[in-house]
Amino acid sequence: MTLTRLNRLLNDPPLNYVIHSYPGSGSRRRAGKTSKDHYHWHIEITPRLTELGGFEQSSGFYINTVSPERSAATLREIAL
């Protein structure tokens, strides 16, 4: 459903997928438990809509010009 809406809203953009999974042997302790005890994995889907600027290229941080709330509201409006 998300991919269909992104496709319709953004006219079939190229996408980057990032899978964040098990953190490996260097787990951190939080609240008495290690991340091996509980870990939430997720997938990030990022459409490539613009060229990278100097800040993004040199720092590895990406600037998002649209708030997550506005993006979610716009995607909800797209008919499946």
All structural domains of the chain with their residue ranges:
2-77
Would you state the pLDDT for residue 69? 93
What band does 29 get if pLDDT is binned at 50, 70 and 90? low
CATH pick for 2-77 out of 3.40.50.300, 3.30.428.10, 3.10.50.40, 3.40.50.720: 3.30.428.10
d(CA 15, CA 9): 13
- What pLDDT, in 10s, does the model give residues 33-79? 555 566 678 888 888 888 878 888 788 788 888 898 998 899 888 87
Taking each helix axis as running N to C, give the angle between helix 68-77 and helix 2-10, from 0 to 180 degrees, rounded to the nearest 10: 90
Q: Using alpha carbons, select from 66, 63, 44 the residue that is nearest to residue 52.
A: 63
Its pTM stands at 0.54
